Every structure is written in structure tokens, then in C-alpha cells.
Structure 1
Amino acid sequence: MPDISLEKEASSRFSRWARWGAAALVVSVAAGLGAAALQFILGVATALLLESAAPELADSAEARQIPLGPLSGHARWALPVLLAAVMAAVVGLSRLARGRALGTDEVIAAARTGELRDLTTRAAAGKLAGTAATLGAGGSGGTEGPVAVVSAALSGAVTRAFRLPATDRSQLVAVAMGVGVGALFQAPLGGALLAGELLRRRGIDWRATVVALPLAFVAFGTFIALHDAEPMFGHATLGALWSPGSFVALAAVGVCGALAARMYVGLFTLAGAARNRVRRFPEAVAALAGALVGIAGIFVPAALGTGYGTVAAQLSATTVAAAPLWLLAVLPLAKIVTTSITLRTGGVGGVFGPAMVIGAAVGALCWRGFVAAGFDPGPVALFTMAGMAATLGPAVRAPAAALLLAAAATGNLVPPVGLVGAVGIALCCSGGVTLFPSQAEGTGLRERLRRAASAARSELSRRSFSSVSVEVSRALRSVMLKLSPQGRGVD
């Protein structure tokens, strides 16, 4: 006679896996839809806002050109007014909604702790609207972070609807962040690696990566069904897979990328600490910050918006050679400042994208320096992407994902060895900085060995203490016995 309890257990297990599979499929489709929705809404917002105040800037971004000088005409002063009004409105509406747009760091903390209550469709809608308004008006930020948050928020809502256990829900939220970014980059392999790296400061959660791998292709397919299947920055050659001369030059790019990452994280953290001291009048602070960013953008227009058009322009040797040297030198710092002010005072956007723009400018500047010194370092696209990956990887603690995303963004499958070396050197020189303090320390091999050694020392100390205690107790009993009347032989 069949065992009814075993049949019920098998049926329950099958039901759980069926629900998990259905939820994972819906999550991956939602991640692709979220990436496509953000691209569309941001395009509409840019057409309505930025093109009215600074058409030169909007045209440069669309044509993938570097804005070479200050904006011209009296209409340029409408840009600070527009940014001030939009940022004040974003902060005011967020307060009326009794909340604020979630950031990637908050989602990482939620996925690690299992506190997923705030990951709702309402949070996803708020992130989409806030990002479109902020970046569409010229505020400095990226789209990858918002896509990760939107994907995670939709994932939280889906997993609740399917009544998955808490551990499965947290895993799918982490996976959704990676596959959403991979869909936007049209780099499913990079998205799968990002899902495994994003929750940790060191190492990769291979279980999350394996789970994310098929889902990343589903999200990618959903995205390109609604969006052009074109590399994020266009097609560009990165040169030979191995080039000794380029490898040595790219080592310098790795060091510069690490310095840029440390400066970006440091100033971004400092801006957050300064903002925390001024909690009164948030709308007024946001308006003032928007005006300052707008004024900075009049003189360095490339520091506004997402900056992706500028990155794409820096893949061309002709464009980089024609760009003023002062602009390439100032752009990384200007982008750091405008991003820190925008995102720390209530603007909504991501921190991934600015790291890419900062690093790309650093790489292009290094290429100009080598050319000026009489060297032939190789394709400028290789240096631009190396700088981007060498800054992004350490800043978000995702070096492997940064390599694949950089390659895919230019239509390449495999990153050259020199690019890999640049990211490795940058990671070693970055000092463990991160834009996401909620990331776990990691459970990589080095961390596991350190914990094992610590546990062994503790156990050895405990045992040593115990053995000493036993010897002391025996000695005391012997002394007491000798001092007692029986021990002295007295009747």
C-alpha cells in the first residue's frame, strides 16, 4: 500500500518547484520590461524637458558627440531654473507619498536581510517616474541602478504573489537586479555575473549566477523585442586579444581607474554625510542643488544627464584627438561633483552610469597622453572601455561583470587580456571602497580561510585555558591535602 505521507511530501515539493519556476520566468520577463520601460519614459522626458532648455545638449547626446564647450545663448540660463524646479518637485512628491525612491544599496540590504516589504509595484513606478524626471531635466545619474531597483521591486511583488518562501524570494530579488542590468546592456552573461557579485564585496555567489543565467537570456529577449538590438555604445573594435604594448599601457589605466573610483566613492560618501546634517527644508535644498548642477552644466555640459553619448563619442580616435585636453581632464571630477549633488539632495538616478562615464573619460585621457608622448598604445576604444571597467568594477565591487558589460557595450564577446589586467590592477589598488555599504564582506576562499584560522585560534586558546585550569586545580587540591590534619598525619 503506498505511503500517503511520502506522496503528500513529493506533491508539496513539486508544487513549490513549479511555483518557483513560474515566478522566476515572470520575474525575468518583468526585468526586461522594466529596462525597456525606463528607456522609453526617459526618452519622452528628455524630449519634453531638456530639449526645451538646452537643445544643444540634447542633440549632442542623441548624435553621440562630446559637447566641446559652454552652452551658448541666453536660453542656457533656463537650465538651472528647470533643474531646480524638477528636483524640488521630485522631493516634494516623494514626501507626499510618504516615502522616497529606493536605491540599489537599500535593495541589497533588503535582499540580504529578507526584509522585502518595500519592494512593491508602487516603488517600481516611483523609481521610474523619479529617474525620468531627474535625468530628463539634465540631472547627473545613470539608468543601470534604477533598472536594477525596478527589476527588484517587481520581483518582490511577483514572489509575494506566488507565495514563495523567504529564502527563494531574496534570491530572486538579487537575481532580478543582475538580469535587469544585463538586459539594458544587452549583455546577459554580464548580468548573470552581476547577480552573483552585487550582494558581496568579495567573491561571487555562484548559486545566484547559475540561477540567473537562463533568466538573463529571457530578460534580454524581452528587452530586444521592444528595443533595438544594438550595443549600448555602438560597435567598436578593441584590438587584438593580446598585445604586449597595450597591456603595459593599460596597467597605467588600471591605476588611474582605481584612483578615480576611490575619489568618486569618497566624495559621494562625503556629500551624503553633509546632506544628513541638513535635514530641514528638503525642497529648498533640492532646488538649490538643482540650480548649482545646472550652472555647472552650462560650462561643462558633458557632466549632465547620463553621459552615455559622451562615452560613445570617446570610442572614436578622431573625436578624442579633437576634444580639448582640459575637457578630458576636468570631466571626471565634474561628473563626480554633479552626480554627488544630484543624487544626494533628492534627485533620483543610479550610481553605475556615472562610474562608467568617469572611467571612460579617464581612459580616453590616458590614451591622449600616450599618443602625445609618441607611443602607439592601440585603439582608443580599448582604453575608453578599460577605464570604464577599471572604475566601475572596484566602485561597485563587481569586476567580472564590469569586464563582460564593457565588452558587450561595444559589440564584443570576449574582453582583451589587457582590459582584464587593467581591471585586476584597479581592484588591487582600490582599497576595498564601495558605493554600496550594505554589501556583505563575502564568503570567498580568502574569507573562509580567515574565518577558519580565527576559529582554530579561538579553539586552541580555549583548550589551552582549560588545560591550565585543570593543572591549577590539581595543584591547589594537593596543597590543601598537605595542609589538612589528615595530610599531616595528626589524629
Structure 2
Amino acid sequence: MDNIFHKIGSFISRQDYFLKWFILGLINGVISGLGALFFYYSLKLCEFIFFNKILHYHIPSPTGEETNNLIFKPGLVYLLPIVIAFGGFIAGFIVFKWAPEAEGHGTDAAIDAYHNKKGFIRDRVIFIKTIASAITIGSGGSAGREGPTALISAGIGSWLARLLGLSEKDRERMLAVGIGAGIGTIFKAPIGGAILGAEILYKSDLQADIIFPGLVASAVGYSIFGSIVGFVPVFGYYLQNFNPLRLPLYIILGIVCGIVGRIYARTFYYFKDNLFKSLKTNIYLKPVIGMFLTGIIGMAFPEVLGTGYGWLQGAIDTKFSMFNTYGIPLFIFFVLLAFIKIIATSLTVGSGASGGVFAPGLFIGGFLGAGLGIVYHQLFPSLVNTSHIGGFVIVGMLALFGAAGKAPVAVTLMVVEMTGSYQLLPACMLAVAVAYLVSGDYSIYKSQVKTREDSPAYKSLA
């Protein structure tokens, strides 16, 4: 059977570049789209079991996933730390028992495999990462689903390359294509995802030959995923008109996001590499401790549990009444939420539980944008009315991740796909560029290298 697949791979490899990578992109996209669907519904099942059935919670969800979505119903609050810790125990046991490389946030592991492991990811990582991440996030851990999907799809790309007997350099490309296809699919942002697969490998560079197959794979994966889940952008449609007079306000937001992006990266790795690494306890118990503490935080601030996308949607739609601010002024509360999310994510993912750091980055930036948007509205009510605050939320989301993830081009394109509109594109371009510059060399992905010349994979791709 392997011989048959190797013959198919040999036939594909003999074609010219564009036909070859069109075919490989199609294959990668189909499998990645199906993998993203399996992960998405595994996550929804875990959320249903842990939150709906055990805790009797209803967590808000974004427009692109559910109608009547901005409803929060707290349930058995006193059980929250125990249930989340139990989820951490299951996820941690699965990961550390069968695939330790699947711990933490998946995108960094995929980047490391590209640069240092010749594009090799063990087959079991695909399944282990799927189940462990679904349990971590579904039980309430503060983490995102894009990172796990990136590693799952990167693993699929690596597996397909080995199945077809492709060369080492093609295996590395297939892995990178998988990163972009996975993120573009689960986030319903195929163009941004394709560029992200080429850009996220480096801090200050881009792997151009990944873009064409990435576009094909992301388009196919997105089409398969959207055919089942729906094609509405994750956060719905932004319909406000663009006003260039607000651009200086977005630049200030970019500066703030760049600074906080540095804080996010430094805090996360302090928890991961110092606190939890030096913790003298069984490795299986570290995610339990981290997620138990996350649960305690979540008792008072449920917004930080899971991906937090529903709460972001509330901020975008300016449904501020859904937030319990404890009497704190709203703009201070939103900024506080951003920093609490940094701590909760560092406790969850930094302890070894399986989940991504992409969604938390969006949450952090989004609520910084919400806080600043409210301040702008109070200072300049004729320039920034209440409905414009959602634009600052969206731009803040992307500016912070563009800075922390070192992917300014990809996230700038994502704003169009996330909102179904070009209205925020100029603001996002400026804010992301400023945030990227302010963030300096700090990155949430430690496996990134500066440029192609710094990567061991560069010679094999040359």
C-alpha cells in the first residue's frame, strides 16, 4: 500500500511547481478541513459535558457560531475550580503519557518541527492534541483553539508528506502549509491563514513559497469547514463607516498593544519556564494546579474561561450590560480583564495543559481596545460614538496578536475576513504596524527565528 502512495507522490513531484503544489494543497486542505471539523465538534462536545451538564453554565458565544448567543447563565460556581482541574488532569495525563510534545500551545511546537526537526511530527500527536485541547478548553481552561488546530493540521501535512514519500524540503513545506490551513479554516480567514503559515515561522521574514499552496489548502479547508459550520465571519459583520480622523486614536491603541504584547510574552514564559518548571511536583499534577487556579479566577471573572470569544462579541456589539463590573468603571474593568486573561492563560497553557495562545491574545487586545474606545468616547463623543467602540475592539485584537505573534501582514488581512468589511483595514494596518515595532524582539512563539538565514530548514528549502 505504501508503494502505491509513493508512486502517487512521485508522479506529483515530477510536475512543475504550481501544478505540484496545487495538487498537494488540495490534498492538504481536504484533510485539514476534516481535521478542523473533528476538533471543533470535539471541543463543542466537551463544552456541553463540562459546562452545560456538570456545571449548568451557559457561556456566551460569537455571532458566527450561535444565534441568541450573548447569554450568560452562571451555574454551580463553587464547583468550577474542581471541574476545571479535573479537565486539566485528564488532558495532562493524555499528553504526558503518550505525546509530551503536544503540551502547551501547538503553534510553537509546529514552528519548532519546521526549523529543527525536518518537518517531522509524530502521527499520534494529531489525535492526542485534538483530544487534550478539546478537554482543556472545553472544561474552561483559558486557551485558544487556533494553536491546537495549527499543530493538528501541521501534523497532517507532515503525515501526508511521509505517506506520499515526498522529499524532506517538501515535508517542511507541507507542515507550514498545514499551519496556515488549520488557522485559516478554524478562524474562517483563509487568506490571512495562508499568509500566516508563511509569516509565523519568523520574527522578521516570510517564506514566500508557502503562500501559493497555503492559499489552495486554506481555501479548500475553509470551504469544507464552512459548509458544515457556516460561513458567517466568527465575529459577524462590522458595518460602521471609516473616518480617517480616528486614525491617531488607533495609532495610540497600537502603541498600547505593542507594550502589552511584550508583557504577555514575558509573563507567559515566566510562568512556563520558571514557576511551573521549578515546581517540585509530579508532572501530571502541574496542569491540575494551573487549571485549578484558573478556575478560582473564573469564579469572579468568567470572561477569562475558555476562548472568551462570546465576551469579545459582547464588547464588539457594545452589549456592556452583560458584564458584571463589581462597580468598577467600565474602561478600567476592561483593561483589568486583559491582564487577568494574561495570568489565566499563563496558568493554563504554561502549566502544560493543551491549548493555544492565539485566542487569548485576541481577547487581551480586544479588551484593551474596548477600554480605550470607552475613554475616546468620553473625551471625543462627536468623533467616537458608542457604536464605534467595536472597531477599537477588533483592531486591538489584531494589533496585539500581530505584535505578540510577529505576524503583522497576516493579521492585517484577517481584519477583512473577520468583519466582512474593508472599513477597518486602514486603521488595522497602522495599529498593527505600530504594535509590531513597539513590541521589539519579544514573541509569544519562542521557536521563531529572526530570518530564513537563521533557520536550519533554510538550506533544505534553498
> TM-score scaled by structure 2?
0.86
Match of 2:439 among 420, 426, 430: 430
Say yes or no: does 1:118 pair with 2:121.
Answer: yes
Deviations 1:225-264 (A, max 9, x none): 2221110111222522xx2321011111111111221111
Say yes or no: does 1:337 pair with 2:338.
Answer: no
Match of 2:155 in 1: 153
**CA distance, structure 2, for counterparts of residue 12 and residue 303 of structure 1:** 46
**CA distance, structure 1, for counterparts of residue 71 and residue 200 of structure 2:** 31
Say yes or no: does 1:105 pair with 2:108.
Answer: yes
**CA distance, structure 2, for counterparts of residue 380 and residue 187 of structure 1:** 23
Aligned-pair distance for 1:412? 2.1
Say yes or no: does 1:281 pair with 2:282.
Answer: yes
Match of 1:294 in 2: 295
Match of 2:96 in 1: 95
Match of 1:50 in 2: 51
Aligned-pair distance for 1:210? 2.5
Judged with a 3 Å threshold, the aligned counterparts in structure 2 of structure 1 residues 179 and 117 are, in CA distance, closer, same or farther, namely: closer
Larger-gyration structure (1/2): 1
Aligned-pair distance for 1:128? 0.8
**CA distance, structure 2, for counterparts of residue 344 and residue 227 of structure 1:** 30
The aligned amino acid for 2:110 is V
Higher mean Cα deviation, 47-56 or 146-155? 47-56
Task: Output aligned runs, 1:82-481, within 5 Å.
Answer: 82-97=83-98, 99-101=100-102, 103-120=106-123, 122-240=124-242, 243-273=243-273, 274-278=275-279, 280-319=281-320, 324=325, 325=330, 326-375=332-381, 376-377=383-384, 379-413=388-422, 415-443=424-452
The aligned amino acid for 2:384 is P
Aligned residue for 1:35, secondary structure, equals helix
State whether residues 119 and 154 of structure 1, in contact with CA within 8 Å, keep that contact through their aligned partners in structure 2: no
Higher mean Cα deviation, 289-298 or 90-99? 90-99
Identity over aligned residues, as a percent?
A: 26
State whether residues 363 and 388 of structure 1, in contact with CA within 8 Å, keep that contact through their aligned partners in structure 2: yes
Higher mean Cα deviation, 397-406 or 164-173? 397-406
**CA distance, structure 1, for counterparts of residue 156 and residue 305 of structure 2:** 29
**CA distance, structure 1, for counterparts of residue 417 and residue 16 of structure 2:** 36
Deviations 1:155-183 (A, max 9, x none): 11111000000001101110110121111
**CA distance, structure 2, for counterparts of residue 290 and residue 194 of structure 1:** 29
Number of aligned positions between the proteins? 429
State whether residues 38 and 128 of structure 1, in contact with CA within 8 Å, keep that contact through their aligned partners in structure 2: yes
Aligned-pair distance for 1:41? 1.0
Judged with a 3 Å threshold, the aligned counterparts in structure 2 of structure 1 residues 433 and 66 are, in CA distance, closer, same or farther, namely: farther
**CA distance, structure 1, for counterparts of residue 140 and residue 416 of structure 2:** 27
**CA distance, structure 1, for counterparts of residue 261 and residue 415 of structure 2:** 16
Aligned-pair distance for 1:132? 0.8
Aligned-pair distance for 1:221? 1.3
State whether residues 66 and 313 of structure 1, in contact with CA within 8 Å, keep that contact through their aligned partners in structure 2: no
Aligned-pair distance for 1:59? 5.1
Judged with a 3 Å threshold, the aligned counterparts in structure 2 of structure 1 residues 60 and 225 are, in CA distance, closer, same or farther, namely: closer
Aligned-pair distance for 1:438? 1.3
The aligned amino acid for 2:158 is G
State whether residues 101 and 109 of structure 2, in contact with CA within 8 Å, keep that contact through their aligned partners in structure 1: no
State whether residues 84 and 292 of structure 2, in contact with CA within 8 Å, keep that contact through their aligned partners in structure 1: yes
State whether residues 404 and 415 of structure 1, in contact with CA within 8 Å, keep that contact through their aligned partners in structure 2: no
Aligned-pair distance for 1:144? 0.7
**CA distance, structure 2, for counterparts of residue 319 and residue 98 of structure 1:** 42
Judged with a 3 Å threshold, the aligned counterparts in structure 2 of structure 1 residues 220 and 59 are, in CA distance, closer, same or farther, namely: closer
Higher mean Cα deviation, 304-313 or 434-443? 434-443
Judged with a 3 Å threshold, the aligned counterparts in structure 2 of structure 1 residues 155 and 220 are, in CA distance, closer, same or farther, namely: same
State whether residues 148 and 176 of structure 1, in contact with CA within 8 Å, keep that contact through their aligned partners in structure 2: yes
Deviations 1:139-165 (A, max 9, x none): 100011111111001111111000000
Aligned-pair distance for 1:21? 5.2
State whether residues 394 and 432 of structure 1, in contact with CA within 8 Å, keep that contact through their aligned partners in structure 2: no
**CA distance, structure 2, for counterparts of residue 335 and residue 64 of structure 1:** 21
Consecutive unaligned residues of structure 2, counting only runs of 5 or more, are 1-9, 455-462
Aligned residue for 2:157, secondary structure, equals helix
Aligned-pair distance for 1:408? 1.3
Deviations 1:96-131 (A, max 9, x none): 3253415221211111234344342x2111111011
The aligned amino acid for 1:432 is D
Aligned residue for 2:102, secondary structure, equals coil
Aligned-pair distance for 1:64? 4.2
Task: Output aligned runs, 1:68-83, within 5 Å.
Answer: 75-83=76-84
State whether residues 315 and 380 of structure 1, in contact with CA within 8 Å, keep that contact through their aligned partners in structure 2: yes
**CA distance, structure 1, for counterparts of residue 423 and residue 102 of structure 2:** 36
**CA distance, structure 1, for counterparts of residue 440 and residue 187 of structure 2:** 27
State whether residues 147 and 356 of structure 2, in contact with CA within 8 Å, keep that contact through their aligned partners in structure 1: yes
Judged with a 3 Å threshold, the aligned counterparts in structure 2 of structure 1 residues 391 and 263 are, in CA distance, closer, same or farther, namely: same
Aligned residue for 2:349, secondary structure, equals helix
Deviations 1:410-467 (A, max 9, x none): 22256431221111111111122101111121159xx9xxxxxxxxxxxxxxxxxxxx
> TM-score scaled by structure 1?
0.81
State whether residues 107 and 152 of structure 1, in contact with CA within 8 Å, keep that contact through their aligned partners in structure 2: yes
**CA distance, structure 2, for counterparts of residue 119 and residue 19 of structure 1:** 25
Q: RMSD in angstroms over aligned alpha carbons? A: 2.5
**CA distance, structure 2, for counterparts of residue 72 and residue 212 of structure 1:** 41
Judged with a 3 Å threshold, the aligned counterparts in structure 2 of structure 1 residues 12 and 349 are, in CA distance, closer, same or farther, namely: closer
Deviations 1:29-68 (A, max 9, x none): 111112222211111110011123443442577654386x
